[in-house]
Amino acid sequence: MELSLIPAFSAIWFGILTSISPCPLATNIIATTYIGKQIKNSYGTLIAGFFYTIGRAFAYVVISFIIVFSLLSVPEISFFLQNNMNKILGPLLIIAGLFVLEILSFSFGGLSFSENFQNRLGAGSIVGACILGFIFALSFCPISAALFFGSIIPLSLKYESRLVLPFLYGVGTALPVLLFSLIISYSSRLAGNFFNKLAAVELWLRRITGLLFLIIGIYFCMKYIFRIINF
Residues 6+ apart with CB under 8 A from 91: 217, 221
For residue 222, the model assigns a pLDDT of: 94
For residue 37, the model assigns a pLDDT of: 63
Per residue in 153-193, pLDDT (tens digit) is: 998 888 888 888 888 898 888 787 777 777 766 665 666 67
Q: Is the predicted pLDDT of residue 96 greater than 50, yes or no?
A: yes
For residue 2, the model assigns a pLDDT of: 47
Most confident of 20-24, 29-33, 212-216: 212-216
For residue 215, the model assigns a pLDDT of: 92
What percent of the chain has a predicted confidence (pLDDT) above 90?
Answer: 9
Directed axis angle between helix 188-220 and helix 164-186, to 10°? 160
Q: Give the CA count within 13 Å in the CB-facing half-sphere of 196.
A: 5
Is the CB of residue 125 less than 8 Å from the CB of residue 78?
no
Most confident of 41-50, 65-74, 103-112, 221-230: 221-230
Q: How far is CA 74 from the centre of its chain?
A: 26
Structure-model confidence comparison of residues 128 and 116, the more confident one: 128
Most confident of 21-25, 87-91, 137-141: 87-91
Per residue in 58-71, pLDDT (tens digit) is: 998 899 989 988 88
Coil, helix or strand at residue 160: coil
Directed axis angle between helix 125-137 and helix 115-123, to 10°? 140
